[in-house]
Amino acid sequence: MMYRSILFVLLLSLSFRTYADEIDPANLELLRRYEDTLSTLQDSIVLSGEPVVRQQACFSFIRVLVQALKVNQSFNYPFVALKRINIISPDDRKFRMFNWGLKLFNDSYRYYGAIQMNNKKELKVFPLFDYNYKIKNKDTISNHEKWPGAIYYKMIERNRYYYLFGWDGNNLRSNIKIIDVLHFNKKGEPVFGAPKFVVTDKKNVYIYNRYIIEYKEDAVVTLNYDIDLKLIVFDHLAPQSSTSKDYRFTYVPDGTYEGFKYRKRQWHYVSQVFTSTMKQPVFPKPVDFDKEQEQFKNTIKKNK
Higher pLDDT, 293 or 79: 79
What's the pLDDT at 121? 82
Report how far Cα 220 is from the mean position of its chain's Cα atoms.
17
Put simply, whether the predicted model's pTM sits higher than 0.75 gets the answer yes
Q: Considering only 85-89, 191-195, 239-243, which range has the smallest mean pLDDT?
A: 239-243
Q: Could you tell me if residue 113 is inside a domain?
A: no
Q: Is the pLDDT of residue 255 over 90?
A: yes
Q: Could you tell me if residue 75 is inside a domain?
A: yes
Return the percentage of the chain with pLDDT > 90, whole number.
74
Q: Is the pLDDT of residue 20 over 80?
A: no
On the CB side of 199, how many CA atoms lie within 13 Å of its CA? 11
Q: Could you tell me if residue 241 is inside a domain?
A: no
DSSP secondary structure of the chain: -HHHHHHHHHHHHHHHHHHHTTS-HHHHHHHHHHHHHHHHHHHHHHH-S-HHHHHHHHHHHHHHHHHHHTSTTGGG---TT-TTSEEE--TT-SEEEEEEEEE-TTS-EEEEEEEEE--SSS--EEEEEB-TTT-S-TT--EEGGGB---EEEEEEEETTEEEEEEEE--SSSEEEEEEEEEEE-TTS-EEE--S-EEEE-SS-EEEESSEEEEEETT----EEEETTTTEEEEEEEEESSGGGTT-GGGEEEEEEEEEEEEETTEEEEES-SS-TT-SS---PPPP-HHHHHHHHHHHHHHT-
168 pairs with which residues across the strands?
176
Q: Is the pLDDT of residue 244 over 60?
A: yes
Q: Is the pLDDT of residue 233 over 90?
A: yes
Q: Is the pLDDT of residue 21 over 60?
A: no
Q: Could you tell me if residue 19 is inside a domain?
A: yes
What's the pLDDT at 278? 45
Q: Could you tell me if residue 178 is inside a domain?
A: no
Count of domains in the chain? Answer: 1
pLDDT digits (tens, 9 = 90+) for 105-144: 888 899 999 999 998 888 999 999 999 988 888 999 999 9
Range of the domain at 7: 1-83
Tell me how crowded residue 41 is: count the other CB atoms within 10 A of its CB: 23
What's the pLDDT at 107? 80
Using alpha carbons, select from 223, 85, 107, 246 the residue that is nearest to residue 170: 107
What's the pLDDT at 16? 42
User: Rounded mean pLDDT of 26-44?
Assistant: 97
pLDDT band for position 181 (cuts 50, 70, 90): very high
What's the pLDDT at 72? 93
What's the pLDDT at 279? 45
Instruction: For residues 117 and 119, give the distance between their C-alpha atoms in angstroms, rounded to a whole number.
Output: 6
- Calculate the CA dihedral of residues 293, 296, 297, 302 and round it to 10 degrees: 160
What's the pLDDT at 95? 98
Q: Is the pLDDT of residue 220 over 50?
A: yes
pLDDT band for position 28 (cuts 50, 70, 90): very high
Q: Could you tell me if residue 21 is inside a domain?
A: yes
User: Rounded mean pLDDT of 219-231?
Assistant: 96
Q: Is the pLDDT of residue 253 over 60?
A: yes
User: Rounded mean pLDDT of 228-252?
Assistant: 93
Q: Could you tell me if residue 224 is inside a domain?
A: no
Q: Could you tell me if residue 157 is inside a domain?
A: no
